[in-house]
């Protein structure tokens, strides 16, 4: 029973405790609620004040912006009014000027009408006087005015024809003289501006060796090595009593160069036998082909020529190992290119086209196709095949006048080729005839009585003659120079003119003892 009472007591205690807790919790919640409400009301008041301040600031800003826009509009209106007033004043001024001009034009018109009436009156009076004078002249001359006019016209025509023909003749003579002078000036300047070395190519190359033992190794047992080398290179190898040298003989410089380079490698390597010879010759030929291409490229770069077909570049490189009448073909072609470019510049033409045509003008000499065709026409065919311009192709084909010249650059290349080949010393037969001509001039002067020595100088353009003072007087020296000049003019062929200078020297010698 006591347990029941105990449980009832516990339940009542728990109920009382729960009631007290509930009452306290409700009071606590009510306090928090009131505090939250108070905080919310305070925060709302702050937000309200902040929004009111923001609204006032926005209103002030909008009012300032509105005032500014109003002021700008007012200013624009005032500026527009000012412009309109200025235009109105300008139009008023123009209107006044126009009215004044109209008044002046009206006055001028009245003056013009008065002057016109006076002029017409004077013109009628002049016509009447002219008619009267013509009638008097017809009576005096015995012919009508039309007949006199025709006679005067015919006389004036004849006089005009005579004067025109004389003027044309004078102009043509002056033009020919000026053209000749200008042509000589251009050619001389071109020659002077194009300096180049001249060298004669030989058909023999000398290969130096250290001792006769190497000669024996090159010859080989029973001549096997030298026969293999000649067969591989196409060069005749001459081994004779010449000390420390072997001669390589061939008209083809490429073959001689292959043989020289192959011999050089064989001698350095020391292994000289037929198989090794064939291997080295093949290797050297490949190296030489690469060097030929590199030479062509370097030549084009040096001359400022671009965009050329690689086959044409290779042909240009082959020119280094070809000669024409003893003149190196690549050096000759470079010189012709420079001369042609200078001539084109002097004449107001394109120097690049002229230089390109000059460089390619002799490529037919190094080509192996169609050998029976003249080299100029073969070169033109190659240029056309590798898409060169028509004027360049024609210049290449016409530089020996084997085809018609249709390009203005053709005569330039022809002249450049002639200048390059005609330089003293440039070609074998040219230098021989050049030396022969100089020797002939000196011998001709030495044949006169009293001449002790004679010298041809300035490339044969001046002949200095030294005479003995005892044999030739001053007057005789003057006559001698004229006689030598006349004899050279009659008997010799020479370019330009030759200056003959006779030198007579008198010496008086005494000794003080």
pLDDT in tens, 231-260: 777 777 777 666 677 777 776 677 778 888
Beta bridge partners of 454: 465
Edge-first strand listing for the sheet containing 245-249: 204-208, 245-249, 236-238
Tokens 């009301």 sit on residue: 41
* Bigger pLDDT: 324 vs 376: 376
Alpha-carbon gap, residue 186 to 176, rounded angstroms: 15
Which of 65-79, 157-171, 197-211 tops mean pLDDT? 65-79
| Highest-pLDDT range among 55-64, 156-165, 198-207, 490-499 | 55-64
- Phi, psi (5° rounding) for residue 204? -130, 135
CA within 13 Å, CB half, 25: 6
pLDDT(178) > 70: no
Phi, psi of 145 (to 5 degrees): -65, -35
Label residue 190 by pLDDT band (50, 70, 90): low
Q: What's residue 198's pLDDT?
A: 46
Please tell me the distance from the alpha carbon of residue 292 to that of residue 319, in angstroms, as a whole number: 9
User: Smallest Cα–Cα separation from 379: which of 404, 402, 411?
Assistant: 402
Q: Could you give the C-alpha distances from 257 to 208, 284, 328, in angstroms and in order?
A: 14, 9, 14
CB within 8 A of 196, min separation 6: which ones?
A: 331, 334, 335, 420, 423
Out of 333-337, 348-352, 508-512, pick the least confident. 508-512
Percent of the residues in the chain that have a pLDDT greater than 70, as a whole number = 81
DSSP 373: S
Give the pLDDT score at 326: 65
Residue with tokens 């020479």: 494
Model confidence band, residue 65 (pLDDT cutoffs 50, 70, 90): confident
Q: What is the mean pLDDT of residues 435-444?
A: 84
Q: Where are the alpha helices (DSSP H) in 194-223?
A: 212-219
Q: Taking 50 as the threshold, does the pLDDT of residue 139 lie above it?
A: yes
Q: State both tokens at 169.
A: 């003749």
Please state the rounded mean pLDDT for residues 193-220.
Answer: 63
| Separation of alpha carbons 218 and 163, rounded Å | 87
Per-residue pLDDT at 199 = 44
Q: d(Cα 449, Cα 30) in Å, to the nearest integer?
A: 159
Average pLDDT over residues 117-143: 74
Q: Is the pLDDT of residue 346 over 50?
A: yes
Query: What number is the average pLDDT over the span 364-391?
Result: 84
Confidence of residue 83 (pLDDT cuts 50, 70, 90): confident
Judging by DSSP bridges, how do beta strands 499-505 and 462-468 pair with one another?
parallel
Per-residue burial over 174-209, b = 16 or more CB atoms within 10 Å of its CB, e = otherwise: eeeeeeeeeeeebbeebeeebeeebeebeeebebeb
Crossing angle for the helix pair 351-360 and 390-397, to the nearest 10 degrees: 40
To the nearest whole number, what is the mean pLDDT of the chain? 79
Q: How confident is the model at residue 424 (pLDDT cuts 50, 70, 90)?
A: low
* Residue 12 pLDDT exceeds 70: yes
Distance CA 225, CA 262 (A): 12
Give the pLDDT of residue 200: 43
pLDDT computed for residue 111 by the predictor? 79
Query: Does 213 score more than 70 pLDDT?
Result: yes
- Which DSSP string do the residues of 268-330 spell out, in sequence order? HH---SHHHHHHHHHHHHHHHHHHHHHHHHHHHHHHT--S--HHHHHHHHHGGG-EETTEEHH
- pLDDT tens digits, residue range 455-503? 887 667 788 899 988 888 888 888 888 889 888 888 887 666 788 889 8
């Amino acid at each position: 029973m006591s347990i029941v009472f105990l449980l009832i007591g516990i339940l009542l205690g728990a109920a009382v405790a729960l009631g007290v807790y509930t009452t306290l919790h409700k009071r606590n919640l009510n306090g928090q609620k009131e505090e939250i409400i108070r905080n919310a009301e305070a925060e709302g008041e702050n937000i309200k004040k902040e929004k009111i301040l923001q609204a006032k600031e926005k209103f002030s800003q909008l009012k300032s912006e509105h005032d500014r826009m109003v002021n700008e509009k007012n200013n624009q209106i005032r500026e527009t009014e000012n412009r309109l007033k200025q235009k109105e004043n300008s139009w008023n001024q123009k209107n006044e000027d126009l009215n004044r001009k109209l008044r002046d034009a009206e006055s001028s018109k009245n003056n013009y009408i008065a002057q016109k009436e006076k002029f017409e009156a004077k013109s009628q009076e002049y016509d009447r006087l002219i008619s009267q004078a013509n009638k008097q002249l017809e009576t005096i001359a015995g012919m009508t005015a039309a007949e006199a006019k025709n006679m005067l016209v015919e006389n004036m025509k004849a006089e005009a024809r005579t004067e025109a023909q004389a003027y044309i003749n004078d102009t043509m003579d002056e033009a020919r003289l000026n053209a000749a002078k200008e042509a000589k000036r251009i050619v001389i300047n071109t020659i002077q501006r194009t300096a180049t070395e001249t060298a004669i190519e030989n058909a023999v190359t000398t290969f130096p060796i250290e001792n006769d033992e190497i000669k024996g190794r090159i010859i080989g047992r029973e001549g096997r090595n030298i026969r293999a080398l000649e067969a591989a290179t196409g060069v005749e190898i001459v081994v004779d009593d010449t000390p420390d040298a072997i001669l390589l003989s061939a008209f083809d410089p490429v073959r001689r160069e292959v043989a020289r380079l192959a011999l050089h490698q064989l001698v350095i390597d020391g292994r000289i036998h037929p198989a090794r010879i064939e291997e080295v010759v093949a290797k050297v030929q490949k190296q030489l082909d690469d060097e030929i291409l590199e030479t062509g490229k370097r030549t084009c770069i040096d001359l400022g020529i671009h965009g050329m077909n690689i086959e044409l570049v290779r042909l240009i490189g082959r020119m280094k190992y070809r000669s024409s009448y003893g003149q190196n073909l690549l050096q000759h072609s470079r010189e012709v290119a420079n001369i042609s470019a200078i001539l084109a510049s002097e004449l107001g033409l394109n120097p690049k086209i002229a230089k390109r045509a000059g460089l390619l003008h002799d490529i037919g000499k190094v080509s192996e196709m169609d050998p029976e065709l003249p080299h100029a026409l073969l070169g033109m065919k190659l240029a056309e095949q590798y898409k060169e311009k028509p004027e360049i192709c024609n210049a290449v084909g016409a530089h020996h006048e084997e085809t018609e010249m249709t390009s203005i650059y053709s005569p330039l290349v022809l002249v450049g080729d002639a200048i390059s080949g005609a330089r003293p010393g440039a070609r074998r037969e040219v230098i021989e005839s050049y030396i022969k001509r100089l020797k002939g001039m000196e011998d001709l002067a030495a044949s006169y009585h009293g001449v002790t020595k004679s010298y041809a100088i300035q490339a044969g353009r001046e002949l200095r003659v030294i005479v003995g003072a005892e044999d030739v007087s001053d007057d005789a020296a003057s006559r001698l120079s004229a006689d030598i000049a006349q004899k050279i003019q009659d008997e010799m062929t020479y370019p330009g003119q030759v200056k003959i200078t006779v030198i007579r020297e008198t010496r008086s010698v005494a000794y003080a003892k």
